[in-house]
Structures are given as structure tokens and as C-alpha cells.
Amino acid sequence: MTTLHNIPLTLNDGTETDFGRFKGTVVLVVNVASKCGFTPQYTGLETLYEKFRDSGFEILGVPCNQFAGQEPGSDSEIAEFCERNFGVTFPLTAKANVRGKDQHPLYAELTKFRTGVLPGLVKWNFEKFLVNRDGDVVARFAPSVEPDSAEVIDAIEAALAASVVKENPSGLSAP
């Protein structure tokens, strides 16, 4: 099991679990906020979730209030806001810090993945990390990259396809 799978998580409803609950699925982890210019991305995230969830894809939203106080609500207020305004059905964690001395262990691991203009620390709300079925970070997207962009969809489809090929290298279906 990778380091990511061992990381404890508290879901928005108080359920204690760990990232291992996603083992075998492709996961898009996104730090989210209710009062951000990027908040409308919840619509695109939910659309992605509906499109790919039956293919072994999950989204994990991580509410964070570290950027200009854009997520001031309680966990229950956040859940209600997301459901009422955007029909969000993907899981959310309890509010967490994604940087700094109290950085959640999940983000301590995720931010080790560096690509292009996104090295190190999370820059703002709605930064996205794509994790493959084995728990490896395979892509990272800036907050301004829309969830339904070709860049994100192509990366998700590649991660889903790579996982399938790994499980069935011949590409042939079983008799």
C-alpha cells in the first residue's frame, strides 16, 4: 500500500476512515471553498463524478479556509451549501489545512508531486491532484483549470485506461 493509502481522513459527516478507502479507484482530490471565484467549478466536478464514477473514479473535496477566508462555514453548513447549490454527491472531508504548520498529512504527500508551474505548496482553492488506482499522484492542475477541460478529462481517461491495461495486459476479454 502506498503512503497515501495509510493517511487518516475525517469525512464531512464525522466518519473516520483513511485514503485507503479509495484503493483501486482513480481519485481527483480538490481543495474547495464556498465563497471563491472558482466555486462554480463544483458544477463541473459533479458532472465529472457522474460521468466517470461507474468506471472506478472518485472525487474527494477537501474544504479549506486558508485562502482569504473563503470557506468560513462549519462542516454541516458546507455540506448543505454544496448539495443545495451544486447537487454535490461526491465525498467531502472535514475542513482541513492544505498548507502551513497544520497541513493535513494528505496534502503533505500530494504536494510532493511537482509539475511545471505547480511545484510545492497549494497556491489557491480548487487546485486538483489526480491519483491513480495504486495511490500515486499522476497529474496536478492549477485552480484556473476547469474540471471539464480536455486536459483534466484526458488525464482521467488515461489513468482509468492505464489501470485497466495493468490489470489485463493482453487487452483480451476473458472467455
Q: Which of 27, 32, 33, 36 is catalytic?
A: 36
C-alpha 19/C-alpha 165 separation (Å) is 23
Catalytic-residue membership of 64: no
128 beta partners: 30, 141
Phi, psi of 139 (to 5 degrees): -160, 155
| Buried-exposed string 21-46: b where 16+ CB fall within 10 A, e elsewhere | bbeebbbbbbbbbbebebbebbbbbb
Radius of gyration of the chain (CA): 16
Provide the residue type at 68 as one letter.
A
CA 95 to chain centre: 14
Catalytic residues: 36
